[in-house]
Amino acid sequence: MRRVRYESSGGPLFLEEAPVPEPGPGELLVRCEAVGITLPMVRKVTEAAEPVPLGGEVAGEVVATGEGVTRFRAGDRVTGLCFGHGYADFALVGAAMASPVPREASAVDAIALVRSGLVALGALDAARFAPGESVLVTAAASGVGHLAVQLARARGAGRVVGAVSGPGKAGFVRSLGADDCVAYDAGDWGEPVDCVLDAVGGDLLTPALAALAPHGRLVAYSSGGGTVRAYDLLVGAKSVIGFQMALIARGRPELYEQWRRELWRMAAEGTLRPAVHAEFALEDAAKAHAVVETRANLGKVVLRP
């Protein structure tokens, strides 16, 4: 099979031939039809001290199952998270991290909706959001962010604000239902909000926290790190909440499944519209990474093995 690899930090991505892996206990072997590009994986390529397998979101057909797998069998169509080599013709996915794809949906639909939607929906729930409250979403044009904007609106937010890296994304974010869109460097992000869903981290944490009203909640789910001063929390009785999807999938599978069903229902009803910015062939993985790294995408970027 073909897979994408690199040999040094920041080094070029290239295709190589590799054996088809065999599923171990609790694993599925999936023939990949679509692979999602995520910012955390792009960052690992450029920042990790040692090369790492290019993993992430995959969708396709189960061709074999490992010992102990009872929920899936060969022929099922699934989407899930691969922690090994996922930029490939075949990938291994833990059964606990997999979910079925409806018969009428494509693999690209699944990549654009499920993993990003689960993070967006989970972050909104972690914020203890209530109808009528205001929500600000950073990276609002990203794969997760563009769904978070729509979910906040669909769940009854009184005001939804998108924060983006540049003004060229404002039209897209407003088309998703945002009432306003601000650039990160605007200086003033407008009227304070009740909840911030932050996918960026780093230096953006300070203005994101400042955008909260008293008693506001910021949910951090980025790989960008960053530091929050305790005093900034104290003076406004604000909260910062960490959210990680893998802990939900492994520890609360019933909630994971509930969220997954809700996402597919909303997509079928048309209240949630996943956007795909571009699709790339496997050999063009470097071009796909460049789109995400430069924050040029409006919605999801997908590889098509």
**How does pLDDT run across 161-176, given as a tens digit for each residue?**
999 998 899 999 999 9
**Out of 17-21, 83-87, 225-229, 295-299, which region has the weakest mean confidence (pLDDT)?**
225-229
User: What's the CATH code, domain 117-245?
Assistant: 3.40.50.720
Q: Which residue has the tokens 């998108």?
A: 162
Token pair for 21: 């892996």
**Dist CA 230 CA 224 (whole Å):** 19
**What is 2-101+275-304's CATH superfamily?**
Medium-chain alcohol dehydrogenases, catalytic domain (3.90.180.10)
* Same fold: 2-101+275-304 with 117-245: no
- Average pLDDT on 205-234 reads 90
| Percent over 90 (pLDDT), the chain | 81
- Average pLDDT on 224-235 reads 84
DSSP run (H or E) holding 194:
strand 193-198
Q: What is the pLDDT of residues 30-70, one digit of tens each?
A: 999 999 999 889 999 988 888 999 999 999 999 999 999 99
Query: Which position has the higher pLDDT, 119 or 97?
Result: 119
**Dist CA 239 CA 294 (whole Å):** 30
For the cut 80, the answer to whether the pLDDT of residue 224 exceeds it is no
pLDDT of amino acid 187? 79
pLDDT of amino acid 62? 98
**Dist CA 289 CA 267 (whole Å):** 27
Calculate the average pLDDT of the chain.
94
Please state the domain extents for the chain. 2-101+275-304, 117-245
**Dist CA 43 CA 218 (whole Å):** 23
From the list 140, 136, 86, the residue with the least C-alpha distance to 111 is: 86
Q: Which residue has the tokens 């993070």?
A: 119
From the list 303, 302, 300, the residue with the least C-alpha distance to 139 is: 300
Q: Which residue has the tokens 């005001």?
A: 159
**Dist CA 193 CA 80 (whole Å):** 33
